[in-house]
Amino acid sequence: MRVLGVDPGLTRCGLGVVDGLPSRRAALVAVGVARSDPALDIDQRLLAIESQIEEWLEAYAPDTVAVERVFAQHNVSTVMGTAQVAGIAMVAAARRRIPVALHTPSEVKAAVTGTGRADKLQVQTMVARLLSLDALPKPADAADALALAICHLWRPAGALGAPQRAPGSMTAAQRAWAAAEQAARTRG
Task: State the pLDDT at residue 128.
Answer: 97
Please identify which of the residues 50, 68, 107, 144 carries the catalytic annotation.
68
Sheet holding 64-68, edge to edge: 25-35, 12-21, 2-7, 64-68, 100-103
pLDDT digit string (tens) for 44-79?
999 999 999 999 999 999 999 999 998 766 677 778
Q: Annotated catalytic, 43?
A: no
Q: Annotated catalytic, 50?
A: no
- Comparing 165 with 151, which gets the higher pLDDT? 151
- Comparing 180 with 84, which gets the higher pLDDT? 84
Check: CB of residue 32 under 8 Å from CB of residue 15: yes
Please identify which of the residues 7, 50, 107, 144 carries the catalytic annotation.
7
pLDDT digit string (tens) for 6-23?
999 999 999 999 999 998
φ, ψ (nearest 5 deg) of residue 165: -130, 160
> In this model, does residue 165 exceed pLDDT 50?
no
- 19, β-bridge pairs: 2, 27
> In this model, does residue 181 exceed pLDDT 70?
no
The per-residue pLDDT of the chain, averaged, comes to 87
pLDDT digit string (tens) for 85-139?
999 999 999 999 999 999 999 999 999 999 999 999 999 999 999 999 999 999 9
Task: State the pLDDT at residue 164.
Answer: 42
Q: Is 144 annotated as a binding residue?
A: no
CATH architecture, range 2-155: 2-Layer Sandwich (3.30)
Q: Annotated catalytic, 37?
A: no
Number of Cβ atoms within 10 Å of the Cβ of 126:
21
For residue 179, what pLDDT band results from cuts at 50, 70 and 90?
low
Task: State the pLDDT at residue 77.
Answer: 72
Please identify which of the residues 50, 107, 141, 144 carries the catalytic annotation.
141
Number of Cβ atoms within 10 Å of the Cβ of 138:
11
Entry pTM: 0.82
Task: State the pLDDT at residue 75.
Answer: 72
Q: Is 141 annotated as a binding residue?
A: yes
Q: Is 181 annotated as a binding residue?
A: no
For range 157-164, the mean pLDDT: 49
